Amino acid sequence: MEQLWTEVEQYFDQVLVKPDAEFANILSASKEAGLPAINVSAAQGKLLELFVRFLGAHRVLEVGTLGGYSTAWLAKSLPRDGYLITLELEPTYAELAQKNLDRFSFPCKIEIKVGDAVQSLQTLHESSEAPFDLIFLDANKAQYCEYLDWSIKLSRTGTMIIADNVVRKGEVINSKSEDPLIQGVRKFNAMVSADKRLQATALQTVGIKGYDGFCVIYVDA
Ligand SMILES: C[S@@+](CC[C@H](N)C(=O)[O-])C[C@H]1O[C@@H](n2cnc3c(N)ncnc32)[C@H](O)[C@@H]1O
């Protein structure tokens, strides 16, 4: 089936998504620099861009930058007074992401903060950052509960939180999994479920990136 999923996604990329050449440049520069190909697909990136538009978002927070591919999709429709903060552990990834993003000349302000995301999120909260309109979680799945905890503190009523990779080839339903990433995602889902401030759903996806899915959360702070 994977071949068919890939072909259908390629079809929709051509017909609907139509990413600019600059997006492909991010991926080729990332590949050349030896970064893992664990970025979102173009179709998923476009969905992030559409969420920014639907929300009329001005303030976006991303956890997990890699080479800046999803960052570019999130930034694409942010207005001139928009602000995007993206958090990355690896300084060399952040450096490449900065170069990749500089090529676009987006009108909004983009800041890459290097370090462990949990620490960076705590620092953002302590520095009394205004709440974000959209938060995209896509770093270490074993830390998703901590990301969620800080993300809620950095939210307002109406903030959208999106968490990527919550299906993991269906392993999410394997309660006996010894994989800390699966257990991280399971604990995250349980945490979302138990928190009365959150309304959520999860969608399974197939395509160029295989079988996975994402969780979309509405915060009622
Ligand atoms: C799946 S990739 C992000 C992909 C990116 N969002 C995209 O779609 O283009 C996950 C990223 O999170 C980073 N990461 C992993 N653990 C982290 C941590 N504790 N704090 C911050 N970033 C982390 C990794 O170095 C990697 O670049």
Instruction: Identify the CATH number of the domain in which residue 188 sits.
Output: 3.40.50.150
Within 10 angstroms of residue 219's Cβ, the number of other Cβ atoms is 22
User: Which of the listed residues 31, 89, 95 should we mutate to test ligand 1's pocket, taking the one with most ligand atoms within 8 A of CB?
Assistant: 89
Mean pLDDT along residues 75-89 = 98
Average pLDDT taken over every residue of the chain = 97
CB of 98 within 6 A of ligand 1: the answer is no
pLDDT score for 78: 98
Task: Report if pTM > 0.95.
Answer: yes
Mean pLDDT along residues 151-168 = 98
Mean pLDDT along residues 40-65 = 98
How many angstroms is it from 85 CA to the middle of ligand 1?
A: 13
Structural domain boundaries, residue 23 = 2-219
Total structural domains within the chain: 1
pLDDT score for 1: 87
213 confidence band (pLDDT: 50, 70, 90) = very high
Alpha helix locations (H) across the chain? 2-12, 21-32, 42-55, 69-76, 91-102, 117-126, 144-153, 180-194
Q: List the residue whose alpha carbon is closest to atom 8 of ligand 1.
A: 39
pLDDT score for 132: 98
Query: CA quadruple 164, 116, 108, 152: dihedral positive or negative?
Result: positive
CB of 38 within 6 A of ligand 1: the answer is yes
| Integer Cα distance of 203 and 195 in angstroms | 19
How many angstroms is it from 200 CA to the middle of ligand 1?
A: 23
User: Quick check: helix, strand or coil at residue 56?
Assistant: coil
